[in-house]
Amino acid sequence: MIVSVVIVCYTSGGVIFSRFYGHELRTEQQQAKWLKKLRDATAPDWALLKEDNPEQIATVGEVQITYKLLGDVVLMVAGVEEHDALLLLELVRSLDLSIRGACKIPENKQQQTTVSAERRILQNHANLCLVIDEQIDDGDIDHLDSKVVLKLIRMRPGR
């Protein structure tokens, strides 16, 4: 298992989407404690995401967290330390492109989101879930190519 948690949250801290993999975080109480740890470890640096660095990496215990600003929401992926942070970084970049495509979140030429990503994600929440499910299966990475993921989502029945 490479990925233990995927979270999409408001910059104020509220959670839009979270998916936990593995058996360590079974109860809602354990998940809430872990979400608080992740937020406490990363929130002070969220301002840096807007200014200088599009992505950041943090470590909490033996867990690496890679996070990226997606318009007005934060995308976080946490994984065990035995796997390289670059792999998690590639996953975050791929998720970013896939979520932008599936939820129709445009960027301008300066790679900045011009509309409310939060609103688009909430309107297309089912697509967000499909993106996560297509890219990550039981904590293992299935696809890193966002074009393949978007194609697979379009092929799903009932769409």
What pLDDT, on the 0 to 100 scale, is given for residue 136? 95
Q: How confident is the model at residue 27 (pLDDT cuts 50, 70, 90)?
A: confident
Q: What is the mean pLDDT of residues 101-124?
A: 79
Give CA–CA dist 46/75, Å, rounded.
11
For the chain, the average pLDDT equals 86
User: Which has more pLDDT, 125 or 12?
Assistant: 125
Q: How confident is the model at residue 110 (pLDDT cuts 50, 70, 90)?
A: low
What pLDDT, on the 0 to 100 scale, is given for residue 62? 85
Model confidence at 159: pLDDT above 70: no
pTM for the complete prediction?
0.87
| Greatest CA separation for the chain | 43
pLDDT in tens, 31-84: 888 888 888 888 888 877 776 668 888 888 888 999 998 888 899 999 987 777
CA dihedral for 47, 70, 2, 25, sign (positive or negative): positive
Q: E strands, 1-159, where?
A: 3-10, 15-20, 55-60, 63-70, 73-80, 136-137, 140-141
Print burial letters for 61-70: b (CB count within 10 Å at least 16), e (below 16): eebbbbbbbb
Q: For the chain, which domains are there?
A: 3-155 (3.30.450.60)
